[in-house]
Amino acid sequence: MSSQNNVKGIVKQFITDNYLVASGVDGIGDNDSFMEMGLIDSTGILELLEFVEEAFTIKVDDEEVIPDNLDSLERLTLFIERKMKHADR
């Protein structure tokens, strides 16, 4: 789980399984905005946070719940990697 590809793959699988099918969206690019695609609503974001915290054993603080950190596969992957690095220290 240490490489970016692994993190991204796990997150992508979760997004695909839980949001893409329900939204009738065929695929998602690394930089596509979840918000602009209408993939994630108010309960969806809570679901995503719970998944991320559990799967990668990190704690996401309220002030970190912003689009800059979470609103695409790329942003989310980088954010998780940053959090995991901090947790390792």
Partner 1 sequence: MKGFDMTEFHKDVLKIDCEAEIDRISEFINEQVRLMRREGAVIGLSGGIDSALASELCVKALGREKVFGLVLPEKESNIVSKVFATKQAQKLGIETETVDITPALEGLGTYKRRDEFVKQTFPEYDPSCRIKITLPPDLLERDAFNIFTLTIDDGKGNQKSERLNKSVLNGIVAASNTKQRTRMVCLYYYAEKMNYIVCGTTNRSEVVQGFFVKYGDGGVDIEPLAHLYKIQVYQLSEYLGVVKEIINRPPSPDTYTYEVSDEEFFFRMPFDMLDHLLYAWENDVPVDDVCSVMGLKEDQVMRAFRDFNSKAKSTEHSRNMPPSLF
- Taking the least distance from each CB to partner 1, the nearer of 30 and 36 is 36
Query: How far apart are alpha carbons 82 and 76 in whole angstroms?
Result: 10
Tokens of 35: 């918000």
> 41: which residues sit within 8 A by CB, 6+ positions away?
none
> Looking only at residues 2 through 21 of this chain, which bind partner 1 when binding is defined by CB under 8 A?
none
- Taking the least distance from each CB to partner 1, the nearer of 63 and 88 is 63
**Residue 46 engages partner 1 in binding (rule: CB under 8 A):** yes
**Residue 67 engages partner 1 in binding (rule: CB under 8 A):** yes
**Residue 41 engages partner 1 in binding (rule: CB under 8 A):** yes
DSSP 74: H
| Neighbour tally for 23: CB within 10 Å | 16
Which residue ranges make up the site for partner 1 (CB under 8 A)? 23, 35-36, 38, 40-47, 50, 62, 65-68, 70-71
